[in-house]
Structure 1
Amino acid sequence: MHWCAIARPPIRHCILRPRGGERHGDPGGCRRVSHEEEGRRSKMKAQALKECDPIVAKFAECAKGRTFSVIWACRAQSKETNACLHQYTNDEAFAKYKKLYEEETSQKL
């Protein structure tokens, strides 16, 4: 269990997501994340996996039949996969995704 989950009392309908510490404005190093935001992040990650499918497939092909050797044998494919996923799942991309979601929901009302 992450230390910040122990240091703070449990919050109903929220989860704690570890962050980089005090530089994010929270001396405890955690921020509260609503279930709605967590759901949006999950959808964004699923979209990122769809966008990066060919690269993820190359990594999966390299990893097939390997156990511990996947760490060094598929390092290049792993880095390529992480770079692809990061461009779709970083904080800036999430802000754009969140803004788009809010615009869509406001148009429905």
Structure 2
Amino acid sequence: MGYVQEARENHVKKKVEEALRSKMKQKALKECDQYTLKYAQCAAGKTISVVWQCRKQAKELNDCLHQFTNDAVLEEMKKEYMLQENQKGSSRV
């Protein structure tokens, strides 16, 4: 399958894409909750020093979040959305 054809098949409206991105971010935060908690505990009571004192926790959190928030994940969500929409459309006929 060519790039242009694949892009057309996964094309969704801007509002739908924004909703999918939001859903993706919510899932990522839920999946990475333990790292968020570690970072928050490290950052508590700190101001500027949080940058270097919590570097390890921030990296762990960012690495975890990136697993769930990247272009490949978004494209997969778009595919799933399009399949659901196509199934809804075919069941209406």
Structure 1 residue 98 and structure 2 residue 72: aligned? Answer: no
Report the alpha carbon displacement of residue 68 of structure 1 after superposing the two structures with TM: 0.7
Question: Can you list the C-alpha shifts for 1:12-66, whole angstroms capped at 9, x where unaligned?
Answer: xxxxxxxxxxxxxxxxxxxxx8122112101110111001111111111111111
Give SS of 1:108's match. Answer: helix
The equivalent residue for 1:71 is 51
The equivalent residue for 1:80 is 60
Looking at structure 1, the residues matched to 21 and 78 of structure 2 have their Cα atoms a distance apart, in angstroms, of 9
**Matched AA of 2:44:** K
Of Structure 1 and Structure 2, the greater strand share is in 1
The equivalent residue for 1:62 is 42
Moved over 4 A (4+): none
CA RMSD of superposed structures (Å): 1.5
The equivalent residue for 1:39 is 19
The equivalent residue for 2:30 is 50
- Structure 2: where are the runs of 5+ without partners? 1-12
Looking at structure 1, the residues matched to 71 and 41 of structure 2 have their Cα atoms a distance apart, in angstroms, of 29
Of Structure 1 and Structure 2, the greater helix share is in 2
Equivalenced residue count is 77
Moved more, 99-108 or 56-65: 99-108
Looking at structure 2, the residues matched to 96 and 50 of structure 1 have their Cα atoms a distance apart, in angstroms, of 19
